[in-house]
Amino acid sequence: MGLYRHVMAAVDQTDDAAALAARGLAIAQRHGARLTLMHVVDQRALTSGGEVDVPLFGLGAGGKNAAATGGGSQTEPQPVPFSTDDRLIVQAEQFLQEIAGHLGEAEVGISVAASGSIPRQIVRTAHELSVDLLVCGAHHRHGLALFMPSAIDGIIHHLPCDVLLLRLS
């Protein structure tokens, strides 16, 4: 048995995700460890506008409740099948499944969560899954971003495991 038993690759929905996942898999296989692909849906993007045309329970065109219209047939309010959060989580799960499919026959776990704090959710998931190694990408930073704390800063100091940062294009 190798040094690592559980490797987690935290990926975003960029072109670099497949390469990062492949590196995570190579490390996991070298150590006889399992691999989990992880993505966090950033809920902050949802609170800054969201979708205003998503129908609510029983509301039809013009904002009138279909069940409250007088006379004729009464219709039961229909639930919205998915909230915006749910749709983004489903999309993220499909994205990770697609990446896992490119990794061949390897058994790969998938973890998707929605959070207002990506670093906090990565740390929480690493604790919950007893991760030994986190593999994540470091994007090039330019200008004022060089003076601001990065998401990595919020992760490395609170993780219960080793971290491997891969330089991404």
- What is the pLDDT tens value at each position of the chain, 169 positions in all? 569 999 999 998 888 999 999 999 999 999 999 999 999 998 776 555 544 333 333 333 333 333 444 444 455 544 444 455 688 889 999 999 999 999 988 889 999 998 888 889 999 999 999 999 999 987 655 455 445 455 666 677 788 899 998 887 6
- Taking the C-alpha atoms of residue 73 and residue 90, their distance in angstroms, rounded to an integer, is 35
Spans of all domains in the chain:
6-47+83-167
Tokens 């593999």 map to which residue?
A: 135
137 and 16 Cβ atoms separated by less than 8 Å: yes
pTM of this prediction? Answer: 0.71
Tell me, which fold does domain 6-47+83-167 have in CATH? Rossmann fold (3.40.50)
43 and 116 Cβ atoms separated by less than 8 Å: yes
